[in-house]
Structure 1
Amino acid sequence: MNSRFSIFTAPLIFAVVLAGSQAWANGEEETPAKPQCPRGQVFDKKARKCVVQTSKLVPDADRTDYAYQLAKHGRYEEALALLDTLKDPNTAKALNYRGYATRKLGRTDEGISYYLQSVKLDPHYAKVREYLGEAYVIKGRLDLAQEQLQQIKSICGGTACEEYQDLAEAINDSSKT
């Protein structure tokens, strides 16, 4: 029974791993879970608990991911404060999330500047191109948003990735108003 089980599950596991690695290669990120820590704390994945956000034990990658969780759940100021604690704030992801939080706070031009810095560090990062395109939509620069859409299409190898679809929808919705 075990060998039959592994014959059927091995291809499934391989497909899941392959899909995950393909998503990573395209710059896709999972929708972040709702942040569980109170203000001023960050989730330490290694310790599996919330700790003071200034703790030196939490690596930048965890801080960056948690800042994104905060921002995606409307806690923009907290996200920015957490990003301020990074040892290396000049990574493509950190700059992208800083741009996202500032844009959502209504500081679109500032957000665009962070997105552009992120693009310089990683021109093949589809998520930053999506957010940059959305910022251009807000500014009424649909021509620049369309350029980002084409870049995403190139990065993803087509139009099926979430970043392409989300930006295309934002452009389409802005054309209706």
Structure 2
Amino acid sequence: MRNGQIRRVNLSLHLTPEQSRADLRAMQQLQLWHQSVNQSDSIDDANMEIRAFHRDVYLAGLQLFLMDPAFCHHVAESLGRDNLTLRGLLAEIQPQAQQDELSVERVELQKIRQELAALKPLMEQQTLALQQLRLSAKSASAAAPEHDNIDVSKVDAPVEKMQKIRQKGIF
């Protein structure tokens, strides 16, 4: 596609005004909007306004749907409420967002608890191994003086002989 080339996409909007208050209100608003656009003096201006309107509505709706399909549906259905304001809709969003954050935190907390539960047996094994290591180190240190201690009298005898020999002056 070349730069600046316009691509036309035909989309259909299926509404059931007899079954949905949101659909009825959407149809009424679209009819009012279309009547106001048709009152324009220039057909080109009207067509440009129609294209801009459709583009903005479709792209905004698509972006909202991509971010959160359930929220997009909530906004679409809220069209049926006559007294709803932007501030009111935003207030509805905030408690829902807080609930979503709490549920995410609960899931993360549950994962942490599961990981801790899995680590507990490993910690107990490590504690037991450390205790066994300490006991074996104590028993080895208790036995070590018997093996490491050399009878001083055995070492002193050859040293005394060397001193006597040196005193005699042989060296």
Q: Which has the higher strand share?
A: 1
TM score, norm. by length of structure 1: 0.19
TM score, norm. by length of structure 2: 0.20
Bigger radius of gyration: 2
Q: Which has the higher contact order (CA 8 A, sep 6+)?
A: 2
Q: Which has the higher helix share?
A: 2
